[in-house]
Structure 1
Amino acid sequence: MVTKREQVLDAAITVLGTGGSRALTHRAVDQAAAVPSGSTSNYFRTREALLCGVAERLEQRDHLDWAALHRALGPATVDHLIDGLALFIAHATTTDRVRTQARLALFGESQTMPALQESVQRAHHRLRTWAIEMAATVGLSPADTGILVDYLDGAVIHRLTGADRDRDPRDGLARLVHALLP
């Protein structure tokens, strides 16, 4: 069950992902969450605190999605890894487009807010660590998994901006994964 705080953060993700950084205000989040005026401010007194809360909530939701995807793929094989990564790209740029756009907005905001930058970096480190553990099951080293994660970031950004939107990502992923395998 979603708590009121999570409801507020999910609404903040929607506001940020659909309207960009300038649209994110406490009032806009209250309206999007359908909570009484001032509710967002009760949980997050400052804009920076709200953005840090959004970063943490994105991390929670991402981890749940990655875990579900990993379970759905079955035994660890190179083909399952490639299929899973292709599904991730498709999910991040279609079903989860708003959340992905919110995450990208956070990256920009984090350049001027040290607490947010720390939160974004911590979330990225945790997800990268999890990806390293997952990729190790098929023989990828941590350094090579880092290359793969960076490739995924680029592939997602290109699809969000319209480039490569209709191209199946499996070919590029397969070439990269096979090139990185020992």
Structure 2
Amino acid sequence: MATKREIVLDAAIEVLGTRGSKGLTHRGVDDVAGVPTGTSSNYFRTREALLVGVVDRLVVRDKLDWERLSRLPTPQSIDELIDATTAWALHSVGADRIRTTARYTLMLESATTESMQAPFRTARRTLVEWVEGLLVELSDDPAAHALILMDYLEGAILHQLTMPAPDFDPRPLISDLATSLLTKSR
């Protein structure tokens, strides 16, 4: 069962993903969360504190979704990695489109809000280290390959969000990238 703090953060994600950064207010979050006015402000006194809380919540939810989508903690083959990564990309632009949009909204916010840069760098570092761990059995350079794979996915997902292709199928390019990176490294 989600805590009230998690409910508030999930509502903030919903607001960011549907109304954008300018739509993020404590009152708007309270309305979406279905909690009394002032609840989100009690947990996060400022808008920036709320944004930092959202960054942390996104990391937690991303890891949970990966485990649920991939059905395994660490891929044991390139094919398993391709399957899980493809599922992740499709989930990100499909069922999880609002949360993905919120993530990209936060990325842009961090570009112009200095106080958001450190929390975003920390969250990114956490995710990169996690992906490195996923690649440890498949790569002789998990740090470099994690960055390449993550950067490609972020770009492909961003393009699908902003310029949707009706026949979007990320598998062929994910397969080409993963196979190229990981078979040359072995």
The runs of 5 or more residues in structure 2 that have no matched partner are none
Question: Which letter maps to 1:53?
Answer: G
Matches within 5 A, 1:32-71: 32-71=32-71
Q: Confirm or deny: 8 A CA contact 1:158 1:165 kept in the other structure.
A: no
Cα 1:22–1:152 change in 2 (3 A) is same
Q: Where does 1:87-126 land on structure 2 (aligned, <5 Å)?
A: 87-126=87-126
- Structure 1: runs of 5 or more not aligned: none
Q: Is the 8 A contact 2:73 2:134 kept in 1?
A: no
- Closer, same or farther in 2 for the Cα pair 1:82/1:44, shift >3 Å? same
For the pair 1:148 / 2:175, whether they are aligned, the reply is: no
Structure 2 vs 1, CA of residues 34 and 83 (structure 1 numbering), >3 Å: closer, same or farther? Answer: same
Tell me if 1:157 matches 2:167: no
- TM-score normalized by the length of structure 2: 0.91
Contact 1:16 1:23 in 2 (8 A): yes
**SS at 2:71 equivalent:** helix
- Count residues with an aligned counterpart: 182
- CA spacing shift, 1:156–1:176, aligned 2, 3 Å: same
Which residues in structure 2 correspond to 1:127-142 (within 5 Å)?
127-139=127-139, 141=141, 142=143
Normalized against structure 1, the TM-score is what?
0.93
Superposition CA RMSD, Å = 1.6
Instruction: List structure 1 runs of 4+ shifted beyond 3 angstroms.
Output: 69-75
State how far apart, in whole Å, the 2-side matches of 1:28 and 1:152 are.
31
How far 1:66 moved relative to its partner? 1.9
Distance apart, 1:74 and its partner CA:
7.7
Superposed CA offset, 1:135-166 (max 9, x none):
12222522122111110111111111134442
For 1:172, the equivalent position in structure 2 comes to 173
